[in-house]
């Protein structure tokens, strides 16, 4: 317990009474640093070399080897070891496909065993009402490389994919449908452009397509419309068989029916998208989940995707155009009425007067809405959002954040405390 005597100056040392049972005194150099003091951290004793900045993939430790294959202390999952192949995760959303789980699993094992990559298969059951969850559970017990997630109800394919992406552990991901129409033997062809660093997302093109005309004709119309509006030259955007880098799925935000436009969203984020022809097989079990309403919902979602990919960072450029057009029309109408009024014509009962005022009011409201959207966009980017970077050149080691480069300020030096073995005298009350 320390007590400063009255009348002492701030620069003089304080004398503290120390209880005899408190143990031996500590050297002032070993005292615990005060708040505000800065002391550099001791050098790390970890003999492992630092992670190179050019490492592109990481491999989490396997379930069977908790040490991560190092034979000792486990490595964090976000540190890649040079020379180790990236892990492949196959994400398969299923809904009422009980008869397809077993044969599809056999084909996947045969196709993936030929790859020189550690792999896993993740089934995501989207609230099936048949025995699909039991079939997934049986397959997971037979082969530990298979995993399964069962959702509480049917949330849609986009939500199932989002759940599978979050649970997948691979740096390379493949998605496919669980109805046996996609051929697992096409997975190597999808992965080749990614492994050769020629693409970030590879989409399949079902050609020739083994579906009835009631399904292929709307699909062709939908793909042609999407190609014209988005400028992405893909023949089959909604093909379930796709291959991705981990960076792509980490950037995606899927909801509703946005899974149809994954290539468009990836292209809008700056990733390289390509296409590979794949084998398409007729459905063997169950029935198709396609309906006419999906085509209408797909066109509505296309409008959302176009806005997100083109005007997400500058919404006023789209909304402001409409506001300016309305304002120009309103001013033109009111200018014409002003000329008539100057010439002596009555304009009070003309409907054009109400129309001109209404156009100006609506233009102001639309412009205000665009300014609010710009304010929200600015606030979003103010929190630290950055543009995605494909690769960096000329960087040695990990980049340092600007706020950590400056040296921390040191606290002002103070005189060391003098420690006394005699208790201080009690002060008499004034």
Share of the chain above pLDDT 90, in %: 38
pLDDT mean over 171-187: 93
Residue 365, pLDDT above cutoff 80 = yes
Number of domains in the chain: 2
Amino acid 256: pLDDT = 80
Residue 389, pLDDT above cutoff 70 = no
Residue 240, pLDDT above cutoff 60 = yes
Amino acid 403: pLDDT = 41
Amino acid 327: pLDDT = 92
Residue 409, pLDDT above cutoff 50 = no
Both 337 and 304 in a single domain?
no
Both 333 and 214 in a single domain?
no
Residue 122, pLDDT above cutoff 90 = yes
pLDDT mean over 236-253: 92
Residue bearing the bigger pLDDT, 391 or 112: 112
Both 305 and 329 in a single domain?
no
Residue 428, pLDDT above cutoff 70 = no
Residue 343, pLDDT above cutoff 50 = yes
Could you tell me the CATH number of the domain that includes residue 203? 3.90.550.10
C-alpha dihedral sign at 209, 210, 213, 214: negative
Residue 190, pLDDT above cutoff 70 = yes
Residue bearing the bigger pLDDT, 324 or 11: 324
CB 390 within 8 A of CB 270: yes
Residue bearing the bigger pLDDT, 181 or 70: 181
Both 299 and 324 in a single domain?
no
Across the chain, what does the average pLDDT equal?
Answer: 75
In this predicted structure, which of 46-60, 263-277, 333-347 has the lowest mean pLDDT? 46-60
What whole-number distance in Å separates Cα of residue 241 and Cα of residue 236? 10
Residue 407, pLDDT above cutoff 60 = no
Question: What is the per-residue pLDDT across 59-118, written as a single tens digit (0 to 9) for each?
Answer: 333 443 433 444 333 333 333 334 444 689 999 999 999 999 999 999 999 999 988 889
Both 307 and 358 in a single domain?
no
Amino acid 310: pLDDT = 82
CA 299 to chain centre: 24
Both 104 and 249 in a single domain?
yes
Q: Is 331 among the domain residues?
A: yes
Q: Is 13 among the domain residues?
A: no
CB 232 within 8 A of CB 266: no
Residue bearing the bigger pLDDT, 183 or 420: 183
Both 122 and 175 in a single domain?
yes
Q: Confidence band (pLDDT; 50, 70, 90) for 311?
A: confident
Which residue(s) pair with 418 in the sheet? 15
Residue 287, pLDDT above cutoff 70 = yes
Both 133 and 189 in a single domain?
yes
Q: Is the pTM of this model over 0.75?
A: no
Q: Which residue range(s) make up the domain with 204?
A: 88-311
pLDDT mean over 385-411: 52
> Where does a domain end: 288, 311, 334?
311
Amino acid 43: pLDDT = 46
Both 212 and 287 in a single domain?
yes
Q: Is 15 among the domain residues?
A: no
Both 217 and 268 in a single domain?
yes
The CA-based angle 217-218-221, given to 5 degrees, is 90
In this predicted structure, which of 27-36, 162-171, 316-325, 361-370 has the lowest mean pLDDT? 27-36
Surface-to-core class of residue 120, CB atoms within 10 Å of its CB (0-12 exposed, 13-18 middle, 19+ buried): buried
Q: Which stretches within 231-274 are classed as H helix?
A: 246-251, 262-268
Q: Give the number of residues written for the chain.
A: 430
In this predicted structure, which of 5-19, 358-372, 380-394 has the lowest mean pLDDT? 5-19
CA atoms within 13 A on the CB side of 278: 29
Both 242 and 321 in a single domain?
no
Q: Is 95 among the domain residues?
A: yes
Residue 424, pLDDT above cutoff 70 = no
Q: What is the DSSP string of 38-84?
A: --PPPPP---SPPPPTT-----PPPSS-TTTTSSSSPPPTT-PPTTP
């Amino acid at each position: 317990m320390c007590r400063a005597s009255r009348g002492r100056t701030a620069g003089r040392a304080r004398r503290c009474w120390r209880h005899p049972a408190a143990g031996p005194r500590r050297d002032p150099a070993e005292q615990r640093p005060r708040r505000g003091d800065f002391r550099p951290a001791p050098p790390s004793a970890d003999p492992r070399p630092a992670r190179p900045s050019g490492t592109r993939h990481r491999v989490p430790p396997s379930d069977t080897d908790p040490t991560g294959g190092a034979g000792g202390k486990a490595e964090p999952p976000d540190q890649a070891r040079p020379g180790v192949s990236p892990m492949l995760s196959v994400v398969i959303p299923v809904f009422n496909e009980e008869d397809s789980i077993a044969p599809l699993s056999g084909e996947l094992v045969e196709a993936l065993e030929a790859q020189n990559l550690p792999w896993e298969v993740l089934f995501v059951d989207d609230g099936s009402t048949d025995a699909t969850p039991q079939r997934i559970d049986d397959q997971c017990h037979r082969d530990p490389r298979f995993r399964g997630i069962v959702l509480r109800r049917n949330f849609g394919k986009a939500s199932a994919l989002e759940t599978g992406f979050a649970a997948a552990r691979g740096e390379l991901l493949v998605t496919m449908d669980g109805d046996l129409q996609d051929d697992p033997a096409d997975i190597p062809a999808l992965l080749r452009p990614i492994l050769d660093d020629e693409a970030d997302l590879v989409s399949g093109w079902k050609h020739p397509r083994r579906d009835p005309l009631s399904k292929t004709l709307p699909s062709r119309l939908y793909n042609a419309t999407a190609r014209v509006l988005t400028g992405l030259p893909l023949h089959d955007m909604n093909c379930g068989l796709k291959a991705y880098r981990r960076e792509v799925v980490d950037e995606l935000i899927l909801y509703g029916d946005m899974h149809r436009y994954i290539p468009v969203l990836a292209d809008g984020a700056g990733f390289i998208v390509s296409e590979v022809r794949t084998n398409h097989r007729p459905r063997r079990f169950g029935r198709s989940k396609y309906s006419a309403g999906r085509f209408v919902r797909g066109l509505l979602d296309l409008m959302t995707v176009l806005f997100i990919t083109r005007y997400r960072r500058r919404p006023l450029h789209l909304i402001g155009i409409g506001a300016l057009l309305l304002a120009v029309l309103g001013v033109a109408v009111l200018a014409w009425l002003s000329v008539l009024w100057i010439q002596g014509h009555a304009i009070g009962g003309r409907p054009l007067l109400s129309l001109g005022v209404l156009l100006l009011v609506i233009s102001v409201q639309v412009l205000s809405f665009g300014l609010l959207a710009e304010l929200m966009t600015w606030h979003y980017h103010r929190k630290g959002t950055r543009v995605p970077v494909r690769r960096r050149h000329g960087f040695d080691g990990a980049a340092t954040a600007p706020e950590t480069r400056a040296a921390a300020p040191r606290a002002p030096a103070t005189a060391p405390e003098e420690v006394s073995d005699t208790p201080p005298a009690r002060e008499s009350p004034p």
